[in-house]
């Protein structure tokens, strides 16, 4: 037997060549599939759950779950919705919210709430009715949850696709041509009841050259950079400071506050 | 018949180094590595499994970029029965929903030895005419490497496999 203590050089002859041949949508799909696996495991770890418990929550066999969480599994939006409901966390979201935050637009419901929050805080500050803040905060959170329940993933995806088509000045006919399909198939694909799969979404992403669904991990990072968040934080911190003052009845404090 | 096996580097990414295996015999000394042989077999756009094959290659790339974490592999029953001194595991990289399999040995989160595979047609890999020889080879190689790690004939230093990388199986 030979004892060898040196490094060998790269031996792969075909890997890179073969990888470059793979279609763009497959690259997108595989990377999305890995993102989803990472995200689900992140949530499971955070919630102190495992695949067995997840199987129990979904009423499925553990083997089915391991298949579901396997690399390259073509998940449907309905399954993602179910997983999100069971885990009570977002797995995939449309990046519309990021764009909207960037543009300060009033499209997104969550942004509407955020802006409303700022508006209410401003109003509260002007009226000096600081004690009501916790109650309003609670009602705002309830509203947000209700909206979250009402907004289905599939309608989010459809809105996002239409937004991209509009932005790129494309029609459904163009999209049908890009995908090599009939226009009727596209309108069916973008229909309310159609249960889109990750592979189809990746194909659409590759053709439209834009993200339709992303994992919220990236969103969090981008959210941190938005001005609205900073503004909200500063407002909240100011409110916190002011909240303490009315509890003290001394005249000197009131004067200094004015 | 004893096979002469050479472990050699295949690909290196940020987080993972992939190795592969070359089997040398007297008849054909200039044989391709097992994984290159697998790739050349499926790398044809007209092949009915080309899409799954592309997903598999992209999965290797993604594993290389993210780390060889157990959640990205499916492990065979036989491998689970192996003694786990250094976490040697016989795994398969498979695009879910398909029968295309690429056998591999995951030594840790940074080192994976890619082997050969094919399209599984039977329920059990050992009964399938397409993959049974790759499965058996992967199993015996996994056992051999585990032994060699215990006896320190093969050592692991970060992403490097050092020591006796040529041996009879």
Cβ contacts of A19 on chain B, cutoff 8 Å = 57-58, 61
pLDDT, position A191: 81
Do the Cβ atoms of B164 and B154 come closer than 8 Å? yes
Tell me what the mean pLDDT of segment A1-14 comes to. Answer: 50
| Mean of the per-residue pLDDT values of chain B | 84
State the DSSP code for B14.
Answer: S
**Shortest Cα distance, chain A CAs vs residue B136, angstroms:** 23
A191-223 pLDDT, tens digit each: 877 888 999 999 999 999 999 998 886 444 444
> Helices A24-46 & A77-87, crossing angle to 10 degrees?
20
Q: Answer yes or no: do A72 and B32 touch at CB < 8 A.
A: no
Tell me what the mean pLDDT of segment B58-71 comes to. Answer: 90
> Helices A198-208 & A153-167, crossing angle to 10 degrees?
10
B103 touches chain A (CB under 8 A): no
Q: Which of A186-190, A227-231, B45-49, B89-93 has the lowest mean pLDDT?
A: A227-231
A60-117 pLDDT, tens digit each: 998 888 888 888 889 998 899 899 999 988 898 888 544 443 444 334 444 455 555 5
> What residue in B sits closest to A38 (Cα-Cα)?
B71
| Whole-angstrom distance, CA of residue A23 vs CA of residue A25 | 6
pLDDT, position B62: 92
Q: Which of A58-67, A75-84, A131-140, B117-126 has the lowest mean pLDDT?
A: A131-140
pLDDT, position B3: 86
pLDDT, position A126: 54
Tell me what the mean pLDDT of segment A124-129 comes to. Answer: 51
pLDDT, position B18: 93
* Residue B162: pLDDT over 70: yes
B37 touches chain A (CB under 8 A): no
Q: Which of A20-24, A53-57, A131-135, A155-159 has the lowest mean pLDDT?
A: A131-135
pLDDT, position A200: 92
> What residue in A sits closest to B21 (Cα-Cα)?
A11
Q: What are A229's two structure tokens?
A: 């968040």
What is residue B19's three-state secondary structure? strand
User: How confident is residue A136, by pLDDT bands cut at 50, 70 and 90?
Assistant: very low
B160 touches chain A (CB under 8 A): yes
Q: What are A95's two structure tokens?
A: 């990046």
Q: What are A180's two structure tokens?
A: 């090599």
**Shortest Cα distance, chain A CAs vs residue B29, angstroms:** 15
| Whole-angstrom distance, CA of residue B38 vs CA of residue B56 | 11
Angstrom CA distances, A186 to A26, A127, B12, B15, B84, stand at 20, 53, 41, 40, 52
Residue with tokens 């080309």: B50
Contacts of A106 (CB under 8 A, 6+ apart): A112, A115
* Residue B156: pLDDT over 70: yes
| Whole-angstrom distance, CA of residue B145 vs CA of residue B103 | 15
> Helices A96-103 & A109-127, crossing angle to 10 degrees?
40
Chain A residues interacting with chain B (CB cutoff of 8 angstroms): 1-5, 7-15, 17-19, 21-23, 26-27, 29-31, 34, 37-38, 41, 66-67, 69-74
- N-term to C-term CA, chain B: 9
| CATH 1.10.260, domain A23-87, yes or no | yes
Q: Is A178 left (phi over 0), alpha (psi -120 to 50) or beta?
A: alpha
In this complex, the residue of A1, A2, A34 whose CB is nearest that of residue B62 is: A34
| Whole-angstrom distance, CA of residue A176 vs CA of residue A187 | 9
> Helices A24-46 & B50-66, crossing angle to 10 degrees?
50
| Whole-angstrom distance, CA of residue B57 vs CA of residue A47 | 32
User: Could you tell me which of B78, B134, B69, B61 has the C-alpha nearest to residue B104?
Assistant: B134
Q: Answer yes or no: do B163 and A5 touch at CB < 8 A.
A: yes
**Percent of chain B, pLDDT > 90?**
40
**Shortest Cα distance, chain A CAs vs residue B129, angstroms:** 24
How many beta carbons lie within 10 A of that of residue A68, not counting itself? 20
Angstrom CA distances, B131 to B19, B41, B91, B122, B135, stand at 20, 13, 14, 9, 6
Tell me what the mean pLDDT of segment B143-157 comes to. Answer: 90
Q: Which ipTM did the prediction report?
A: 0.89
Q: Answer yes or no: do A12 and B20 touch at CB < 8 A.
A: yes
Q: What are B80's two structure tokens?
A: 């689970």
pLDDT, position A27: 94
User: Could you tell me which of B54, B101, B99 has the C-alpha nearest to residue B73?
Assistant: B101
Q: Answer yes or no: do A67 and B166 touch at CB < 8 A.
A: no
Q: Which of A95-104, A193-202, B35-44, B143-152 has the lowest mean pLDDT?
A: A95-104
B3-13 pLDDT, tens digit each: 899 999 999 99
| Whole-angstrom distance, CA of residue B93 vs CA of residue B60 | 8
| Mean of the per-residue pLDDT values of chain A | 71
**Shortest Cα distance, chain B CAs vs residue A127, angstroms:** 52
**Shortest Cα distance, chain B CAs vs residue A69, angstroms:** 8
User: How confident is residue A9, by pLDDT bands cut at 50, 70 and 90?
Assistant: very low
Pick B22 or A189 by higher pLDDT. Answer: B22
CATH 1.10.260: which residues of chain A? 23-87
pLDDT, position B126: 83
In this complex, the residue of A10, A19, A71 whose CB is nearest that of residue B96 is: A71
**Shortest Cα distance, chain B CAs vs residue A72, angstroms:** 5
* Residue B76: pLDDT over 70: no
Q: Answer yes or no: do A19 and B35 touch at CB < 8 A.
A: no
pLDDT, position A117: 54
pLDDT, position B96: 64
B98 touches chain A (CB under 8 A): yes
Q: Is the dihedral of CA B150, B131, B16, A18 positive or negative?
A: positive
Do the Cβ atoms of B112 and B159 come closer than 8 Å? no
């Amino acid at each position: 037997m030979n004892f060898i203590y040196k490094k060998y050089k790269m031996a792969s002859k075909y890997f890179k060549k073969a990888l470059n041949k793979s279609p763009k949508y497959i690259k997108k799909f595989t990377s999305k599939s890995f993102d989803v696996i990472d995200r689900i495991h992140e949530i499971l770890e955070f919630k102190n759950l495992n695949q067995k418990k997840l199987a129990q929550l979904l009423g499925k066999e553990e083997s089915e779950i391991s298949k579901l969480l396997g690399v390259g599994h073509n998940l449907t939006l309905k399954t993602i919705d179910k997983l999100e409901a069971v885990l009570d966390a977002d797995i995939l979201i449309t990046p519309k919210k990021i764009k909207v935050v960037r543009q300060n637009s009033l499209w997104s419901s969550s942004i509407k709430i955020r802006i409303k929050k700022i508006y209410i805080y401003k109003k509260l500050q002007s009226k000096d009715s600081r004690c009501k803040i916790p109650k309003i905060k609670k009602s705002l959170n309830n509203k947000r949850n209700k909206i979250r329940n009402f907004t289905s993933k599939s309608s989010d995806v459809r809105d996002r696709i239409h937004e991209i088509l509009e932005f790129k000045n494309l029609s459904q006919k163009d999209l049908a041509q890009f995908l090599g399909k009939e226009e009727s198939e596209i309108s069916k694909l973008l229909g309310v009841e159609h249960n889109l799969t990750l592979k189809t979404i990746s194909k659409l992403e590759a053709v439209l050259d834009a993200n339709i669904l992303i994992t919220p991990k990236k969103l969090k990072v981008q959210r941190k950079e938005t001005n609205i968040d900073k503004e909200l934080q500063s407002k909240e911190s100011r409110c916190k400071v002011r909240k303490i003052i009315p509890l003290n009845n001394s005249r000197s404090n009131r004067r200094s506050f004015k | 018949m004893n096979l002469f096996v050479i472990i050699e580097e295949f690909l290196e990414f940020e987080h993972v180094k992939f190795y592969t295996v070359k089997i040398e015999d007297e008849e054909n000394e200039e044989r391709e590595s097992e994984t290159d042989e697998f790739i050349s077999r499926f790398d044809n756009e007209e092949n009915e499994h080309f899409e799954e094959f592309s997903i598999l290659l992209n999965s290797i790339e993604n594993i290389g970029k993210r780390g060889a974490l157990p959640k990205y592999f499916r492990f065979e029953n036989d491998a689970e029965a192996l003694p786990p001194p250094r976490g040697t595991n016989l795994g398969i990289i498979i695009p879910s929903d398909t029968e295309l399999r690429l056998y591999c040995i995951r030594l840790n989160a940074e080192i994976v030895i890619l082997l050969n595979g094919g399209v599984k047609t039977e329920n059990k890999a050992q009964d399938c005419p397409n993959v049974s020889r790759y499965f058996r080879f992967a199993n015996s190689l996994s056992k051999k490497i585990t032994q060699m790690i215990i006896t320190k004939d093969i050592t692991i230093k970060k992403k490097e496999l050092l020591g006796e990388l040529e041996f009879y199986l």
